[in-house]
Amino acid sequence: MALDQLQLEVIWNRLIATVNEQAAALMRTSFTSIVREAGDLSAGVFDRSGRMVAQAVTGTPGHINSMATSMGHVLAEFPVDTLAEGDVIITNDPWKTASQLNDITIFTPVFKAGRCVAFFANCCHALDIGGRGLSADSREIYEEGLQIPILKLYEAGKPNKTLYAMLTANVRATEEVLGDLHSQVVGNEVGAKQLLSFLDEFGLDDIEEVSEAIVSRSEAAMRERIAALPDGEYPFTMTTDGFDEPITLAANVIITGDQLTVDYAGTSPAIDRGINVALNYTAAYTTYGIKCAISPDIPNNDGSFRPVTVTAPKGCIVNCEHPSPVGGRHLVGHFLPSVVFGALSKILPQNVMAASFDALWDSQVYGDRPEGGRFAYVWFAAGGAGAIHGRDGLSATAFPSGIAGVQSEMIEALVPIHIEKRELLADSGGPGEWRGGLGQAFTLGVRGDRPFLFSGLYDRMNNPAEGIAGGMPGAVGTLHTKTGNPLRAKTRVPLPANETVTLELPGGGGFGAPHHRAPEAVARDVRDGYVSLNSARKNYGVELDPTTYEVDLAKTEALRATR
């Protein structure tokens, strides 16, 4: 059938509803708070040729944009016409999916009248994948856990018992990991059922015509946005903590007509620690940064990726080669949108954010339950997001990953971890005309009288989130025990019973000169506990009455006259 504009709009909305239902089914049946509460997953639908057509609203850029490129690898291994109804494909190959062994992707072909008409795929973070666990101190990928090449998890509806046995023997949290695999399969099945229903409703044999219309329009819209930008090269460099030595992330955004290239030449080489990034993950977060800045309203699909090219020298830390360790790849990959924003700030200053805390803080605890048995638990925490022109940065909000925080009560109900404190950190957001978002503080321990292992994949403990357009940097993060002893991030640390750990997460960078912030807004920040009286005076040039927090206009004008 020839699709008119109205029909295409209706079908497009049905596709979005379908992938959202797919993601919802996965989350509601998940065995872990990582997926169920934090939303560390992605879901999408693909056409017969492997082009991503639509994605669920829920999902991280690292998952969804990596998954968009992984279908090509799957179809190279299992051509579309060799697949049978009931087949389900699995892999966690970091160089073909989301650049970390814990991220497992499931692909399900959809059949109508005996012919494959589409694919549903989703990617989730598995609670455990064996190996050293979630840390960055591995020397090569073989230490990081079980590698799953592109294989059939189900063949014509029958489970691959050998693969299930391998998974059972190699992961610590068997029930949760295998349970989430079943949830991933179910999510795809729900999406397939919805898709077949509306194909029948609209009299369509497949989604090829729909896909072509959506993808081509998205590509044309993206090219139009790029063509509106001035041609040229826009370099930017950022320094991050790294492992033993700081890491340099160098990007050059090159605009030529309706094509945009991001070249990472000059970036630090890969290291023998697990913070390296495979190129597909680099491309995933780079394209996300581009879309945030120039085309947030254009659908995210195969067409919107075509005008953007991401290159990096082989062997650098954002294009590592096998068998480089990659367990903490987000400790580099999550900084890439801020690197892109830094480059584009030269031509789109009002479209970009100041740097955020960026790299999600991932914590993992291994220990003994007081009632007997072992436990392993992973959760994520967010610092402050960067400010943007006209708006303060969001506090304790995960950018660019979009992961939600898990409630303290949920953590304590699932495992014998007790959380003594969880609060926003005053003065952690970078001062600016628009203030950076605040970080948060956690103090936690393990119930019982047994020692435990603590692992934290953290960054911005030495290099803060920089401000933009005159904004100031946010506060760096810290990690220490109740006695004040600092702990090293990115490694596993054995701790004695009754010890507690305090995490203070970094804040986001500010936007614009702080002395341009309205004095009334500074007073409100002080009243709300976001900014101290000392910071109001020192960083913003605002003098407040310490009893009422009212602005002393005369003293404020005198202070600001010196700036």
Q: What is the spatial distance between Cα 106 and Cα 99, in angstroms, rounded to a whole number?
A: 15
467 within 8 A of 388, measured Cβ to Cβ: no
Summarize pLDDT for 364-380 with one digit per residue, the tens: 999 999 999 999 899 99
Residue 175 falls in which region: left (phi positive, over 0), alpha (psi -120 to 50) or beta = alpha
What pLDDT score does 1 carry?
A: 52
- CB under 8 Å to 547, separation ≥6 — which residues? none
What pLDDT score does 59 carry?
A: 86
Do the bridges between strand 151-155 and strand 158-159 make them parallel or antiparallel, or are there none, so unpaired? Answer: antiparallel
CA geometry: angle 137, 359, 457, nearest 5 deg: 25
Whether residue 561 sits in one domain with residue 491 = no
Whether residue 169 sits in one domain with residue 45 = yes
SS (H, E, C) 54-77: EECCCCCHHHHHHHHHHHHHHHHH
Tokens of 60: 């991280």
β-sheet with 247-256: strand ranges across: 232-240, 247-256, 259-263, 308-311
Whether residue 196 sits in one domain with residue 71 = yes
Q: Using the 3D structure, point to which of 180, 203, 219 is the last residue of a domain.
A: 219
Residue 265 falls in which region: left (phi positive, over 0), alpha (psi -120 to 50) or beta = beta
Q: What is the spatial distance between Cα 264 and Cα 249, in angstroms, rounded to a whole number?
A: 7
Q: Using the 3D structure, point to which of 219, 234, 267 is the last residue of a domain.
A: 219
Do the bridges between strand 308-311 and strand 259-263 make them parallel or antiparallel, or are there none, so unpaired? Answer: parallel
Summarize pLDDT for 301-342 with one digit per residue, the tens: 999 999 999 999 999 999 999 999 999 999 999 999 999 999
Q: What is the spatial distance between Cα 206 and Cα 40, in angstroms, rounded to a whole number?
A: 30
Residue 425 falls in which region: left (phi positive, over 0), alpha (psi -120 to 50) or beta = beta
Q: Tell me which residue of 413, 386, 363, 445 sits closest to 136, measured CA to CA.
A: 363
Whether residue 551 sits in one domain with residue 430 = no
Whether residue 92 sits in one domain with residue 20 = yes
Whether residue 508 sits in one domain with residue 541 = no
Q: What is the spatial distance between Cα 465 and Cα 355, in angstroms, rounded to a whole number?
A: 5
Neighbours of 414 (CB within 10 A): 16
Whether residue 563 sits in one domain with residue 423 = no
Distance of CA 54 to the CA centre of its chain: 18
Q: What DSSP letter does each residue of 244-280 carry, written as one string?
A: SS-EEEEEEEEEETTEEEEE-TTPPBP-SSTT---HH
Whether residue 509 sits in one domain with residue 392 = yes
What pLDDT score does 135 carry?
A: 81
Measured in residues, the chain has a length of 563
Do the bridges between strand 115-125 and strand 151-155 make them parallel or antiparallel, or are there none, so unpaired? Answer: unpaired
Whether residue 158 sits in one domain with residue 118 = yes
Q: Using the 3D structure, point to which of 219, 242, 268 is the last residue of a domain.
A: 219
Q: Most distant CA pair in the chain: distance in Å?
A: 80
CA geometry: angle 259, 262, 265, nearest 5 deg: 140
What pLDDT score does 117 carry?
A: 98
What pLDDT score does 353 carry?
A: 98
Which residue type sits at 231? D
Is there a domain that residue 233 lies in? no
Whether residue 26 sits in one domain with residue 83 = yes
- CB under 8 Å to 548, separation ≥6 — which residues? none
Is there a domain that residue 66 lies in? yes
Is there a domain that residue 34 lies in? yes
Q: What is the spatial distance between Cα 155 and Cα 174, in angstroms, rounded to a whole number?
A: 22
Distance of CA 360 to the CA centre of its chain: 7
41 within 8 A of 63, measured Cβ to Cβ: yes
Summarize pLDDT for 254-288 with one digit per residue, the tens: 999 999 999 999 999 999 999 999 999 999 999 99
Is there a domain that residue 282 lies in? no
What pLDDT score does 2 carry?
A: 62
Is there a domain that residue 324 lies in? no
Whether residue 115 sits in one domain with residue 26 = yes
Residue 57 main-chain phi, psi, to 5 deg: -65, -40
What pLDDT score does 133 carry?
A: 80
What pLDDT score does 563 carry?
A: 80
Whether residue 452 sits in one domain with residue 372 = yes
Is there a domain that residue 266 lies in? no
Distance of CA 281 to the CA centre of its chain: 10
What pLDDT score does 467 carry?
A: 98
Q: What is the spatial distance between Cα 414 and Cα 375, in angstroms, rounded to a whole number?
A: 10
Do the bridges between strand 103-112 and strand 417-424 make them parallel or antiparallel, or are there none, so unpaired? Answer: unpaired
Is there a domain that residue 440 lies in? yes
Residue 556 main-chain phi, psi, to 5 deg: -65, -45
pTM: 0.96
Q: What is the spatial distance between Cα 179 and Cα 363, in angstroms, rounded to a whole number?
A: 22
Is there a domain that residue 72 lies in? yes
What pLDDT score does 5 carry?
A: 86
What is the tally of structural domains in the chain?
3
What pLDDT score does 457 carry?
A: 95
Which structural domain, as residue segments, surrounds residue 69? 5-219
Q: What is the mean pLDDT of each run of 10 residues along the chain (563 residues)?
A: 80 95 97 93 96 94 94 97 98 96 98 97 95 89 97 98 97 95 98 96 93 96 98 98 97 98 98 97 98 96 97 98 97 98 97 97 95 92 98 97 92 96 97 98 96 96 98 98 92 94 98 97 97 97 94 93 86
What pLDDT score does 6 carry?
A: 86
